[in-house]
Amino acid sequence: MEVVKEIVSLISAIFIFLGSVIALISAIGIVKFQDVFLRSHASTKSATLSVLLTIVGVLIYFVVNTGFFSVRLLLSLIFINLTSPVGMHLVARAAYRNGAYMYRKDDVPRQSSILLSQNEFNSPEELKTRAKLREQRREKLYYKENQKLNK
């Protein structure tokens, strides 16, 4: 019986360790990525997985070693996995509607970028006008779809 507890404790420690490693990778991704959308991907996907692994490891440890099943851990597991992606989706959607910078491979500075003028890069005014144009296109599309549905 003691051997089984040790094996399960080792498995739970592996889950907790993997969760912490993935959280570290998530933190590095948040720092290294260039724009809001890539950072939101790093923060939701890997951070949610790291929390999942950590909480599962803790839940397994407490069930086997102390015989204590925590409903709070189970509920936190469920709510974090439901709310984290939805919340970050709303943040990314708001950033898109406000004309946030979107990283493209063509935007990577090259050695010849010294010769380019500063007008090549987007100013805040250009980002705002781009966001307004997107909203106008979206409203036109929404208006056309509503007209089709009303007929």
> In the prediction, which pLDDT does 117 show?
41
Q: Are 104 and 72 within 8 A, CB to CB? A: no
Decide if 5 is inside a domain.
Answer: yes
pLDDT at 111: 45
Provide the pLDDT for residue 137.
80
How far apart (Å, rounded) are the C-alpha atoms in residues 51 and 145? 41
- In order along the chain (151 residues), what is the average pLDDT of each group of 10 residues? 88 95 91 83 88 93 87 90 88 81 60 44 73 80 71 65
Q: In this structure, are 53 and 127 located in the same domain?
A: no
Do 82 and 138 have their domain in common? no
- Going from the C-alpha of 11 to that of each of 4, 8, 53, 143, 145, the distances in angstroms are 11, 5, 11, 56, 54
Does any domain span residue 11?
yes
Q: For residue 16, what pLDDT is reported?
A: 95
Q: What is the pLDDT of residue 105?
A: 59
Range of the domain at 69: 1-98
DSSP code at position 112:
G
User: CA 104 to CA 94: how far, in whole Å?
Assistant: 19
Tell whether 16 and 73 lie within a shared domain.
Answer: yes
Q: What is the structure's pLDDT at 151?
A: 65
